[in-house]
Amino acid sequence: MLGLEPLGEDVLFDRSRDLAVGGSYVYWATEQQIFRCPIANCMAEGPTLLVTADAEISALKVDGSAMYWLEASALHSCPLTGCEHSSVVIPTVAGAFHLYESARYAMDGSDLYWVDPKTPPGESFGWGGPVRKMPK
C-alpha cells in the first residue's frame, strides 16, 4: 500500500484498546497498561511501559504535557513520561453504553469536559447528566 509504513514488525500492539499520537510518540493502551514508542524509530527503540493501572484502561487521550484515560469510571492523568501512581482527576465519569462508543469526556487546550453521571429513579446505573468543565 502506498504511503503506509509500519512502526516496526516486532512491535506488537496486542490487545490494544486505544491509540493516541502526541509530539513524536505514539501511545497505546492495553488492558491495564499504557505504552509509548517514538514514531521515527519504534522498531529500534521498542515500546516503553508508562503506566500500570488497577483496572481496565479505555479512552486514552494525550495533550502537550499529560495523558488522560478512564480506569473503571474514574478519569486519571499522568505526565507523558509516565508515573508510578496516576492522579484521579475526576472520580466518576458517565460510562459509554457500548464497547465502541466514544468516551464521555473531552479536552481542549486548557480544560477537561465530562458527562456527570446521574442515576434516574428506578435505574441501577447512570445514563448521563450535565456536562461539567474544569481546568486541566
Tell me the pLDDT tens digit for each residue of 19-37.
899 989 999 998 899 999 9
Confidence at residue 67, expressed as pLDDT on a 0 to 100 scale:
95
Given a contact cutoff of 8 angstroms between Cβ atoms, the answer to whether 34 and 68 are in contact is: no
SS3 70: strand
Give the global pTM: 0.75
pLDDT in the model for residue 111: 92
Joined together, the cell numbers standing for residue 14 give 496486542
Structural domains present in the chain: 18-135 (2.120.10.30)
Q: From edge to edge, which strands make up the β-sheet containing 105-107?
A: 105-107, 111-115, 131-135
pLDDT value for 100: 42
Model confidence pLDDT, tens digit, residues 35-70 = 999 988 888 888 899 999 999 888 899 999 999 998
What is the C-alpha radius of gyration for the chain, rounded to an integer number of angstroms? 16
Please state the length of the chain: 136
Which has the higher per-residue pLDDT, 55 or 102? 55
What does the pLDDT average to over 84-107? 68
